Structure 1
Amino acid sequence: MSIRLAIPADAKAIGQIRVAAWRSAYQPFMPSEFLASLDPSANLDALTERLTNPTREFMVFVAEDEGNTVGFSIIGAPRYPTQELTVELWALNVSPAHWRQGLGRKLIDRSVAESFNLGFAGIELWCIKGNSPAEAAYAGCGFTLTDKERTSSALTGHPLHEVLYSKIL
């Protein structure tokens, strides 16, 4: 298993992994109609374009197992007000068939290391409140739960409660 910077050819696998991971992990938190409506090919052109030119504001890493892309993480400019020199871990998704094999931790470690190499002082992420496996993974990688929370229904049409984790680099 290896972690590398994503390339445009990874876009389709990233879309498929995102949908499979969300459908498996988020059943208790998101409406089943919303999860069923997820489209693995949504926004692939935009993602392919962004993977062509990774920047400090958007960088994707993929986990490979025997040549197959089985997970990904995204770091980028925070999509909410926060401190200067902070980057956001936008996403961490692993194909459900590859859960509990350490890939999530490897993706987090690479995201953290690259954030440090890019000159960021901290990394933050929003996690669905009550998503115990994710919360344990982030804590195990040195992230600390902050006192910040948010609730929004913009994504799913159903209130989604999130908590903010942070890590000093």
Structure 2
Amino acid sequence: MVYGDCERVSEIRIGGWRSAYRGLMPQSHLDALSVAEDAERRRARFTDLADTVVNLIAERDGSTAGWACHGPYREGEARTGDAELYAIYVDPGHYGDGIGHALLEESLRRCSAAGHARMFLWVLKENTGARRFYERAGFRPDGAEEPFEVDGVLVPEVRYTRRLGTA
């Protein structure tokens, strides 16, 4: 990913939120999401976190169709020796094309090659589609849960983990 991809990545991310989280969090929050504001935050983070966060994009027919990012696992403000998948989103028009799987496999490959023993990720507890996607890739919930509040509504997340180097 390059700096110029930030706008398209934000379009994919916001589209992914609006599609995947419909009915799981307040619609007013989803409707208020702004691609321009998200792109601005993404551009600011792009240079600040360039040496710790890996951003990957997937293209289909010459156009960016998906995005994933990973880096060190965040235990509060501390970073650990494990990896964390921070985000993975696919343009809703490309759901089922294998793009999410390819992005996840590349993140797993890179984290394993970097010597990380495990990868963690957080997923909305009620997002059964995403949970099945991660479980098919060898991730398992480890029992950790965190409250996530959106416009005054609790939307709990569960943590998944997978050892690297094995499926």
Using structure 1 for the length normalisation, give the TM-score.
0.88
Establish whether residue 131 from structure 1 lines up as the match of residue 122 from structure 2: no
Q: CA deviation at 1:80?
A: 2.8
Contact 2:73/2:80 (8 A) holds in 1: no
Per the alignment, residue 151 of structure 1 pairs with 147
Are the aligned partners of 1:8 and 1:49 in contact in 2 as well (CA < 8 Å)? no
Alignment partners' CA distance in 2, 1:157 and 1:58: 30
State the SS of the aligned residue for 2:22: coil
2:26 to 27, 31, 34: 31
Q: How does 1:97-116 map to 2 (within 5 A)?
A: 97-116=93-112
Stretch of structure 1 that moved more, 82-91 or 6-15:
82-91
Of 4, 8, 12, 1:9 maps to: 4
Q: Which residue of 1 aligns with 2:91?
A: 95
RMSD: 1.9
Number of residue equivalences: 162
TM-score calculated relative to the size of structure 2: 0.89
Secondary structure of 1:78 counterpart? strand
1:74 correspondence with 2:69: yes
Aligned to 2:53: 58
Instruction: Label 1:80 to 1:160 Cα distance change in 2 as closer, same or farther (>3 A).
Output: farther
Does the aligned pair in 2 maintain the 1:51–1:59 contact within 8 Å? no
Provide structure 2 residue ranges, at least 5 long, that are not aligned to the other structure. none
Verify: 1:41 aligned to 2:36, yes or no: yes
Report the secondary structure of 1:22's partner residue: helix
Whole-angstrom CA distance in 2 between matches of 1:84 and 1:43 = 27
Task: Report how far residue 47 of structure 1 moved.
Answer: 2.4
Name the CA shift for 1:28/1:46 in 2 (closer, same or farther; >3 Å): closer
Q: Which runs of 5+ in 1 are unaligned?
A: 1-5
SS at structure 2 position matched to 1:106: helix
Secondary structure, aligned partner of 2:156: strand
* Per-residue deviation, residues 36-55 of structure 1 (Å, max 9, x unmatched): 00011224344235445732
**In structure 1, the residue corresponding to 2:157 is in which secondary structure?**
strand
Q: Indicate the larger mover: 14-23 or 40-49.
A: 40-49
Change (3 A) 1:159 1:51: same
Query: 1:20 is matched with which residue?
Result: 15
Q: Report deviation, 1:67.
A: 1.0
SS at match of 2:69: strand
